[in-house]
Amino acid sequence: MVKNTEINLSAIARDLKKAASDAVVIGVGQGADGPVLLENPLTAKSAEALADSLKVLGITGAADQAVRLPGLPETGSGVLVLAGVGKVSDGQRLSGEALRRAAGSAVRQLAGLSSVTLAFPTADVADVAAVAEGAALGAYSFTEHRSSKDGLKDPVSSVAIFTELAGDKELEPALKRASLLGRAVNATRSLVNQPPSHLYPETFADAAKELSKGLPVKVTVWDEKRLEKEGFGGIMGVGKGSARQPRLVKVEYAPAKATSKIALVGKGITFDTGGISIKPALGMGDMKSDMAGAAVVLNTVLALAGLGLPVKATAWLCIAENMPSGAASRPADVLTMFGGKTVEVLNTDAEGRLVMADGIVAASQEYPDAIIDVATLTGAQLIALGNRTAGVMGADSVTGPLKAAADRAGELIWPMPLPEELRPSLDSQVADLANIGERHGGMMTAAVFLREFVGKGKDGQPIPWAHIDIAGPSFNNGAPYGYTPKQGTGCTVRTLVAYVEDLLARA
């Protein structure tokens, strides 16, 4: 089902002609006095002539600008591309994210070419890795449901990074990591982009098995009979209105020398009509992306396995289709969740928290060191933080490191509080709690609901937990930018991988 796009990454340090490509890309920044040609492999004469021509050519150095010029004989390429990196200051290095976005934007806009050489300034291996990541993320397309590829361009398949660090022994693992991250993010994007006619609970479970092939992971699937028998009332309650019955998928990576143990829980609503509390028709098509959280946690665990990191990581994919029918849950129904708590369903469109609650309880029963859940949970997230910034809530011991990991990965996450006054708004007259509460601050209210299902560790204390709401940043309805395409973005995969790496480094 998932036809992934991958890229071949390499590094070169000498004569560009010996590694001829279809295009050579060099950087231009926005300086205080106009465009600035960045460090590059051109001869001094060529570089000076080019720098003097930038304003005449209309080149500003703005982020996402990519201007094609005829190639120079010294580059061995027919095309020279000037790629904007955004604002620059004298004596100040480009950030890793600026390099990542510039590389990703250039590779994205050069679709149709086979091979590209990227010659951005790289002061250390981390800079080279950022360029490689950007290239891997920019080389993406989703065309598998097109009957014809007329007018469509294949993504760049090979990128060489020009850097004096090409011989550094740390570069090979950095390029491997960039390639694996690109594969994981692009697989997440492709799952999100699948139409609901093709991706539904059963086929999502099949896709998890398919993507796991060749990796040291174990995949276990609960079908509707097992879910019913074992009491997963949240997942069954949401999914029973659809002819396509729900699934719970557990993906375990358990290396022998694991030093930490984490659980990742993902919301997998393959299509969300709102159920009986039906959504407006306008924009409902975007609800094919309501399974992004499950796609994120699946591909995060697969990336950790591919990197061979010494951590036990388990992904719980809570998958259902939320449809209105004679069998669907109704407002005022009471569900008995996995673990025994009861929930009054006041709004069937607040369904994500119901499937997630079951997954969080199941994850808690294995006593992980931390639980992180990822979900396109609330429209309130977009109101609070916009389309590109995810909200993270929970224990400081998890949210703080997640924010630091996101900063390192170049993703936007912002910590939000869990005000105690929100909890009484979830009180129910007939059950342990209701599935909706205070409307204002709804992103935080939803997180307060999920916190009710986090279990205790073997020490009797609540398991450290964090909730990431990706309702906005998981799906891009606007124009492509940087390494981010339209529709599925694959956001937070890189943050979660970085979080685990940081966790292991501290241990």
Choosing from 279, 341, 408, 451, the catalytic residue is: 279
At position 484, the amino acid (one-letter code) is: T
Written as six digits, the tokens of 407 are 């900063």
Q: Which residues make beta-bridge pairs with 336? A: 342
3-state secondary structure of 4: coil
Which of 198, 369, 165, 370 minimizes the C-alpha distance to 288?
Answer: 198
H/E element holding 448? helix 442-451
Is residue 255 classed exposed, middle or buried when 0-12, 13-18 and 19+ CB atoms within 10 A define those classes?
A: middle
Structure tokens at 111: 């679709």
Pull the structure tokens for residue 233: 């009332």
Q: State yes or no: is 486 an active-site residue.
A: no
Alpha carbon distance 471, 386 (integer Å): 9
Of 100, 247, 267, 353, the catalytic one is: 353
Q: Which of 463, 462, 488 is nearest to 473 (CA)?
A: 488
- What is the number of alpha carbons within 13 Å of residue 237 lying toward its C-beta? 32
Torsion of CA 137, 133, 390, 212, to 10 degrees: 70
Token pair 């361009």 is found at 153
Alpha-carbon distance 111 to 70, whole Å?
17
Catalytic status, residue 279: yes
β-strand partners of 362:
none
Please name the residues in contact with 66: beta carbons below 8 A apart, sequence gap of 6 or more. Answer: 25, 81, 82, 83, 84, 105, 106, 109, 110
- Residues annotated as catalytic (active site), given as ranges: 279, 353
